[in-house]
Structure 1
Amino acid sequence: MPFNRHRRLRQNEAIRKMIREHHIHTEDLIYPIFVVAGEGVKEEVPSMPGVFHFSIDQLQEEIQEVMDLGITSIIVFGVPAEKDECGSGADHEQGIVQSAIRHIKASFPQLYVISDTCLCQFTSHGHCGVIENREVANDASLERLVSTAISQAQAGADMIAPSNMMDGFVAAIRQGLDEAGFTDTPILSYAVKYASSFYGPFRDAAHSTPQFGDRRTYQMDPANAREALREAYSDVEEGADLLMVKPGLAYLDIIHRIRETFHLPIVAYQVSGEYAMIKAAAQNGWIEEKQVVLESMTSFKRAGADMILTYYAKDIARWQLN
């Protein structure tokens, strides 16, 4: 009885590489950097081995390494020295993110710098918007987010990445950027951001754990898939240039749905919890770190992601160079 011999195309590494459908390129990677107030600071985040807080004066060596590895884009997260109810540091001309962007662009003008646009790191309550009667007020939050986006663009950000999940945030930021003269500044929308349990280490890194309640009134229910399409449709209509799905690995089906529905570039965020789990298992000798990371990256690409935001970006670049 005749049968197909699929193994003909798996006999050795040469043929396997020839027919490989998806590849990870260094240019596909976005590397996150956490910038903190102070001087002489380079401190490892306890829950994220290999990820550090940097004060601005310590960024030079880190950015130079990023450039030498061939990574062409970073995203900047800022952790201010002081916080208040309205997150006034988020849009301050001398804010931590704005100062870091100016410093980076002055020394590395060719590096593509994306700014995270949210309030959670800057508010004393840890929520992504303005609080009224112990609730996150959507429209009042939009005003603060627009002001933050404009200030980041003025500082030299090449792209704005709003991660707040307020209704109408893309439309508001697009209008604000256009009116401020930044019509060519693209928006990477955190279009599909779930209220995930995988964010714990990030909140450790960004000092942004909510002081009351949670974020389920604005981030998405992990059980919902059709809602992801509604969210993405809104952001596309409002002017988003790229769409992000966050987290990544537990939501490969969502990445695929977004890819099949829209023609904009898609970004997958391999979040802090995913990174920390792989690190912990690798440090215990339970898995082969490099192979698991590269397999995870391939899964993002196979699902339909064009780019991947990952704390492993430098490691992946090193592995490819070697």
Structure 2
Amino acid sequence: MIHRPRRLRTTPAMRALVREGALTPANLIYPMFVREGISEPTPISAMPGQYQHTLESLADAAREAVEAGVGGLMLFGIPAHTDPTGSQATSPDGILNRGLRVLREAVGDRAVIIADLCLDEFTSHGHCGVLDSEGRVDNDATLPIYAEMAVQQAKAGAHMLGLSGMMDGQVAACRAALDAAGHTDVAILSYAAKYASGFYGPFREAVDSQLKGDRRAYQMDPANRAEAMIEVELDLAEGADVVMVKPASHYLDVVADVSAQIAAPVAAYQVSGEYSMLEAAAANGWIQRERLIAESLTSIHRAGARMIATYWAVEAARMLRNSL
């Protein structure tokens, strides 16, 4: 035989030398939760190893993540009180904006601080936008609220805003508001292809979601692949700097499609259900935990995601550094 591909697999050094795309700690984003009204970190039972933080423990966890080499910190806020319009989302003293200030003070520019920009944690009905008189999410009435959230989050110290609400026109509204307020350097990460997925289940506990109904009228149908490019192209035209596919592991075809067709960075979110399934299987002794963490992240990166949001970010960063 003339061709023996196994020649390039003979040793760890050989495999490292020819590896097509090596994942690094800097590619990882760590989603974090800060909760108002608690006195100590609260474990999230559906997501072993993850916590709802106090402002104090949030700073400590952020510094730990940055020391491990994690490239981004994505913050979600859980207020003590909600209302139909999610008023705490735009308050400078709301828990999310206070948490952003804590992160910026704790880590400065050593990691990209990403603010979740959505209303679902702040509304009493749990939807990502305000409701009309018939109980439907009112897309256009939600946009001014998002715009104000964008300005407040930028003032609080966010380097990047994670627009996760899937409202049509949200990128344009936030970009215009940021620029008008002088925050031209604040980047927008758009959840361009966010699917109405059952894999978000454990996250509901993490943010104490009060969702009534579902989000299928504004999040994408899991059966649709080509539609993702429509969403991506619209968001890029409106000014998105990075586009995201969510969830990640079961939508690798979409990640690959998007990364092959655009020049902008592509992110993917390894969501709570993906995390919790592997943790549960590992707890039962059915899989090799660390091997599957590494393999799952590698597959997302291989599909084309330059940035990966994962609850294993800190642990994976240490694994990656130890493997060098």
TM-score normalised according to structure 1 size: 0.97
Partner residue, 1:82: 81
Write the letter of the residue equivalent to 1:43: T
Superposed counterparts of 1:171-182, under 5 Å: 171-182=172-183
Partner residue, 1:92: 91
Write the letter of the residue equivalent to 2:146: L
Indicate the SS of the match to 1:81: coil
| Greater alpha carbon shift after TM alignment, 133-142 vs 102-111 | 102-111
Give how far 1:106 is off.
Answer: 1.8
Indicate the SS of the match to 1:160: strand
Q: Is the 8 A contact 1:39 1:57 kept in 2?
A: no
Indicate the SS of the match to 1:309: strand
Superposed counterparts of 1:1-322, under 5 Å: 2=1, 4-110=3-109, 111-132=111-132, 133-211=134-212, 213-322=213-322
Mapped to 1, the partners of 2:37 and 2:300 lie a distance apart of 36
Q: Is the 8 A contact 1:35 1:55 kept in 2?
A: yes
Aligned Cα RMSD in Å? 1.1
Q: Which ranges of structure 1 fall in alignment gaps of 5 or more residues?
A: none
Mapped to 2, the partners of 1:286 and 1:221 lie a distance apart of 31
| Greater alpha carbon shift after TM alignment, 153-162 vs 12-21 | 12-21
User: What number of residue pairs does the alignment pair up?
Assistant: 320
Mapped to 2, the partners of 1:21 and 1:107 lie a distance apart of 35
Indicate the SS of the match to 1:98: helix
Write the letter of the residue equivalent to 1:49: P
Percent identity, aligned pairs only?
47
Mapped to 1, the partners of 2:256 and 2:106 lie a distance apart of 38
Q: Is the 8 A contact 2:191 2:245 kept in 1?
A: yes
Write the letter of the residue equivalent to 1:288: Q
Q: Is the 8 A contact 1:121 1:207 kept in 2?
A: yes
Mapped to 1, the partners of 2:217 and 2:296 lie a distance apart of 30
Write the letter of the residue equivalent to 2:101: R
Q: Is the 8 A contact 1:243 1:264 kept in 2?
A: yes
Write the letter of the residue equivalent to 1:107: A
Q: Is the 8 A contact 1:267 1:306 kept in 2?
A: yes
Indicate the SS of the match to 1:135: coil
Mapped to 2, the partners of 1:231 and 1:72 lie a distance apart of 26
Indicate the SS of the match to 2:187: coil
Indicate the SS of the match to 1:76: strand
Runs ≥4 in structure 1, deviation > 4 angstroms? none
Q: Is the 8 A contact 1:244 1:266 kept in 2?
A: yes
Give how far 1:3 is off.
Answer: 5.5
Write the letter of the residue equivalent to 2:287: I
1:114-133 deviation per Cα after TM superposition (whole angstroms, max 9, x unaligned): 10000000000000001011
Mapped to 1, the partners of 2:14 and 2:56 lie a distance apart of 48
Write the letter of the residue equivalent to 1:307: M
Mapped to 2, the partners of 1:60 and 1:192 lie a distance apart of 31
Write the letter of the residue equivalent to 2:241: D
Q: Is the 8 A contact 1:269 1:309 kept in 2?
A: yes
Mapped to 2, the partners of 1:7 and 1:103 lie a distance apart of 51
Q: Is the 8 A contact 1:116 1:161 kept in 2?
A: yes
Mapped to 2, the partners of 1:115 and 1:207 lie a distance apart of 18
Q: Which ranges of structure 2 fall in alignment gaps of 5 or more residues?
A: none
TM-score normalised according to structure 2 size: 0.96
